[in-house]
Amino acid sequence: MKQMLKTRGRDWLLVVAFSLGLHYLVMALHLLVQSGSFSFEQLGGLISDRLMQPGDATRYIDVAQHGYVTQGENMINLVFYPLYPLLMRWLGWLTFSLPLAGVIISHIGYSVASILLYELILLDGERRNAWDGVTLLALYPFSLFALGVFTEGIFLALSIGCLYALRKRNFPAAGIIGFLAALTRTQGMLLFFPAMYELVTHRFGPRKEKLRWQDAFLLLIPAGFGVYLGINAALWGNCFQFLKFEAGEPWYQSTQWIGENIAQHYSLAQNYPGLAWFIYYLQIALYFAVLGVLFLGAYKKERMAYLLYGGVYLGFSYLSGWMISGGRYMLCCIPVYIILSKLKDGFIRRFLLLAAGMLFTLYSFLYLRGYAIM
């Protein structure tokens, strides 16, 4: 047992070193290509510019500093779920810097996510499969967002942790972790679907076990979303006030059928060719790529809970009209890494990892240069 724990601990350290190391390697290469030199001072400046300040990062910092407000231009920050900025505020008391706190939380979240993905795949596969899954997560073209002041890092950890607990049939742990995930992003509540599937198949399957009071912990997953709706109601008298803010400037988001959104992406790609391959064509390609992977998983008889979660995650994400961050959203579609990690053909595996590495390097460089990658 002691030797096994020692070996597993070593594996975890390697997983974290590999996952974080790839991202810092690409940042170092970017500095060398851009300026012909590298220093830790330059690296710190790059982290500050591209991981702490771009896009929605400043809005998370504002929520961490001031909370939700009901007046002024920042009242629309209600659309950002509370857990991540709350953690930033708490850690900020130690770091004296909210942006630094956000980056630290994301680094920890991404590291934990990589370890949990490794362990989750190892439950049904071999060590090689687990490493392939971790590598594919690290080489996802937009995985750099998991290290910045965004929710991707912590949401990856919580969603994989919930799936791991469900796979181990630890329903109380799954419920608690799912509750936290639902307080991090809207997609967190979707973990309730694989949770219900695992519960029903476990309690009413061939063994026909009786329901236990601990199973009620799974209700915490939708309760997390309920807490967020309660915050909306307490501040605005409307549980769905966040939807009104999302529909306005600067997001203009609404709910539309997936086909309408795909058509909209194509139209926008035609109208804005400069953004086509950064946003619109990319989001179309990602939708069909992820859908194809899920069909592959169904053909390979992957666990139904994973397929169910992947399906609802993909479908729900692409119901969002005027979406510009589809690449970032699909980073957290965990079943994709699980399914692809179990490919057996050596040539296809190598080709997939090579292609992922090239795209990861390309899009990371473009993002670090300030291109419209969101």
* Per-residue pLDDT reduced to its tens digit, 130-153: 999 999 999 999 999 999 999 999
Residue 322 reports pLDDT greater than 90: no
Alpha-carbon span 118 to 137, nearest angstrom: 10
pLDDT band at 356 (very low <50, low <70, confident <90, very high): very high
Angle at CA of residue 179, ends 18 and 313, nearest 5°: 65
Contact between 139 and 152 under an 8 Å Cβ cutoff? The reply is: no
pLDDT band at 1 (very low <50, low <70, confident <90, very high): low
Residue 374 reports pLDDT greater than 80: no
Percentage above 90 pLDDT, the chain: 82
The residue with greater pLDDT, 262 or 202, is 262
> If residue 263 lies in a helix (H) or strand (E), which one and from where to where?
helix 258-271
CA atoms 35, 40, 41, 43: torsion sign: positive
Can you give the pLDDT at residue 210? 79
Can you give the pLDDT at residue 8? 79
The residue with greater pLDDT, 289 or 278, is 289
Alpha-carbon span 144 to 173, nearest angstrom: 28
Q: Is 146 helix (H, G, I), strand (E, B) or coil?
A: helix
SS (H, E, C) 75-129: HHHHHCCCHHHHHHHHHHHHHCCHHHHHHHHHHHHHHHHHHHHHHHHHHHCCHHH
Residue 231 reports pLDDT greater than 90: yes
Contact between 151 and 84 under an 8 Å Cβ cutoff? The reply is: yes
pLDDT band at 274 (very low <50, low <70, confident <90, very high): confident
Tell me the one-letter amino acid at 254: S
Residue 316 reports pLDDT greater than 70: yes
pLDDT band at 3 (very low <50, low <70, confident <90, very high): low
Residue 191 reports pLDDT greater than 70: yes
Nearest to 133 by CA among 350, 344, 339: 339
**Mean pLDDT, the chain, integer:** 94
Alpha-carbon span 348 to 329, nearest angstrom: 25
